[in-house]
Chain A
Amino acid sequence: MAGIEIRSLTKHFGDLHAVDGVDLSIRDGEFLVLLGSSGSGKTTLLRMIAGLERPTSGEIHIGDQRVDGDVPPRARGIAMVFQSYALYPHRTVFQNIAFPLEASRTPRKQIEEKVRWAAEMFSVALCRALVRDPKVFLLDEPLANLDAKLRNTARDDLKRFQRQIQTTTVYVTHDQVEAMGLGDRIVVMEHGKVRQIGTPQEVYEDPVDTFVATFVGQPPMNLLDTGDPSLPPRTLTGFRPEHFLPKSVFGTAEELHTFRFAVRRVEYLGSDRYVYGSVAGGAPAADATIIAKLPATIALAIPEGETHEFAVPRRALRYFDPDTGLRRKG
């Protein structure tokens, strides 16, 4: 068991800065998710922790051992699950799970006990990782190749697995649902840099910038310049689609910001309705598409092509600087 310390870590492939100065402190036993789109550097970061990639500069510490130099993967006390699972196709299930133990010259009898112990609980790829008693688990999009139905169960299995063994886990994904559901904390990455580190709730409710605000959440956070005179000039106002509801839905106690919402189209999705339209307002950015997410419990008719009174609770509004994208307190 061990935590991981990463200090100003970079990895350059020629001119490409795949990982560009990442500082990260992963607590012992934590389930940390690296979330980002492809090319954000999340997999490169994971591979550097694993030792499959050599950092250009920076430090990696696993437990109290510094590993970024010449420490080969086998000596880092890690186990890794790959996207394709990378099972050895010519070996049986038993032989697959036993492989890391054979590599460490574990006695035959002990191998058998261990494989049986692991195989009772988890899938083969996890077992092969588990039997090594790693200090750190590294998982590279292990659910990406599963179909949607299996993914839910597999996510549950994975979480149960990690709770049970309580090993520090770093998990890479581009799927924000996985990230939100699995992570104790989420690291949102873009262009090799960390944008935000926080619990799923912090990342979702208090995004530090417009990138995180629109990357996390489906549909993404609405952003527009309302031209509200009470705000400093040029301020982007952001709110989640599920907070943007017909005004009549809210109680009188709630302090509201009201918009005139010109509805273009309503999408019926069973459990929700997505309402697409634009809000009438001062600034030029205001004609951007705004999405409202109405739960099925709101049965109110929303005719297309008409303008409706919609509102957002003031406490759900977030403000951003349009130039830097950074959050503004307000």
Chain B
Amino acid sequence: MTRILPPRRTFADREDLLGAVMLGPALAYVILLVGVPFAFAIALGFSNATAGSLSFGWAGLDNYVAILGDPIFLRALRNSVVVTVGSQVLVVVLATAAAQVFRATFRGKRFARFVLLLPWAVPVSLAAIAWTWIFDSTFSVINWTLKAAGLLHGWLYWLGDPALALLAIIIVQAWRIFPFATVIVLAGLSSIPQEIVEAAIVDGAGFWRRLFRVELPLLLPVVAVAVLFGVVYTATDLGVVYILTGGGPANTTHVLPTLAFQRGILGADLGQGAAIAVFLLPFLIVVAIGMLRLAHRTEVGGTR
């Protein structure tokens, strides 16, 4: 005999209700912990609120006028752009190269892949502290290595020189994002049909032509997504710069998040801090839309 199932619709049958209930927690999380603070930050940017006071007066565009006239802010804005673009260029090159290496079969590949992913898994603060030692003015392993190899005659004060410090920041940011980008590019590479690569080989294309004319164009949507993630991660990151240079020497290496933290939290000027923090938002949105459209436009719709 078959078991008689309940004749009425149970809760599990009510897809409308079930959907709402299951979506609820995630929605609440996003609204309460991301949406509200975000809206609050935008509102703060137009206020003269300060830490330690409950007053919340409308200040209009005063905060924005103030920061736009502030050379430290302009420097931080420029640094943000330089660090983001510089690190992502480095990431794309390194990730593409690393993906080519990891596509080959070799002994210890699994271990190498595990090691590759480490920078991605290590907490930012921990990694940044390790890097402060690597760039240390006395103990810098880079300097000692270069010296031992006979390539360095003077001495590099990595975190003491504004240009070198910025380069150090770019290196660390690239180091942090690049494993993730490699994994994405690797996945993209394996999605290119083997026959297309072989067709290119038979058609007489060498390694570089295959890379630049066949593989990279087909990888473009995937690389665009990787870069988009990288841009967002780098442009919004506080930890690396804060630990590595603290914005120094003499406020020359601030990026927007560190400057916002310094002005808004340490300096108690919540309004100006918020204005600095959300300043990049419109640009990031434009970048995000542009990259997603690029990814969509070049997407390979079925290779057959």
Residues of chain A at the chain B interface (Cβ within 8 Å): 50-52, 72-74, 78-80, 82-91, 99-100, 102-104, 128, 132, 138, 145
Contact = CB atoms under 8 A, between A and B. Distances in A.
Interface string B215-237: 00110100000000000000000
Interface in B191-240: 193, 195-196, 198-206, 209, 213-214, 217-218, 220
Contacts of B220: 90
B100 interface: no
Contacts of A88: 196, 199-200, 214, 218
A80 B201 CA distance: 10
B202 A50 contact: yes
B201 A100 contact: no
B304 interface: yes
A111 to B, nearest CB: 13
A145 B304 contact: yes
B203 A100 contact: yes
A163 B17 CA distance: 67
30 contacts: A50-B202, A51-B202, A52-B198, A73-B204, A74-B201, A74-B202, A74-B203, A78-B202, A79-B202, A79-B203, A80-B198, A80-B199, A80-B202, A82-B198, A82-B199, A83-B195, A84-B195, A84-B304, A86-B195, A86-B199, A87-B196, A87-B303, A88-B196, A88-B199, A88-B218, A89-B301, A100-B203, A100-B204, A103-B209, A138-B202
B39 to A, nearest CB: 41
Nearest to B192: A89
Interface of B: 193, 195-196, 198-206, 209, 213-214, 217-218, 220, 298, 300-301, 303-304
B218 A89 contact: yes
Contact of B200 (A72, A83, A99): A99
Given A82-B195, A103-B205, 17 more contacts: A74-B202, A74-B203, A78-B202, A79-B203, A82-B199, A84-B304, A86-B196, A86-B198, A86-B199, A87-B303, A88-B199, A89-B300, A89-B303, A99-B203, A100-B203, A103-B204, A132-B203
A50 B204 CA distance: 12
A86 B193 contact: yes
Q: Which of A80, A88, A100 has the most CB of B within 10 A?
A: A88
Contact of B204 (A74, A83, A86, A90): A74
A275 to B, nearest CB: 40
Given A83-B195, A145-B304, A90 B218 contact: yes
Contact of A99 (B195, B213, B301): B213
A95 to B, nearest CB: 9
Contacts of A79: 202-203
A308 to B, nearest CB: 49
Nearest to A72: B201
A100 B204 CA distance: 6
A279 B203 CA distance: 56
B140 to A, nearest CB: 45
B198 A128 contact: no
Nearest to A80: B202
A145 B193 CA distance: 15
A281 B62 CA distance: 107
A84 B199 CA distance: 10
Contacts of A128: 199, 203
Contacts of B301: 89
A80 B195 CA distance: 11
A5 B198 CA distance: 23
Contacts of A78: 202
Nearest to B301: A89
B295 to A, nearest CB: 13
A138 B220 CA distance: 31
Contacts of B193: 84, 86
Nearest to A74: B204
Contacts of B206: 74, 103
A145 B206 CA distance: 29
A60 to B, nearest CB: 15
Contacts of A73: 201-202, 204
A42 B214 CA distance: 28
A7 B298 CA distance: 46
B218 A52 contact: no
Q: Which of B196, B198, B199 has the most CB of A within 10 A?
A: B199
Q: What 4 A-B pairs have minimum CB-CB distances, sorted nearest first?
A: A86-B199, A74-B204, A100-B203, A103-B204
B303 to A, nearest CB: 5
A52 B298 contact: no
A89 B213 CA distance: 11
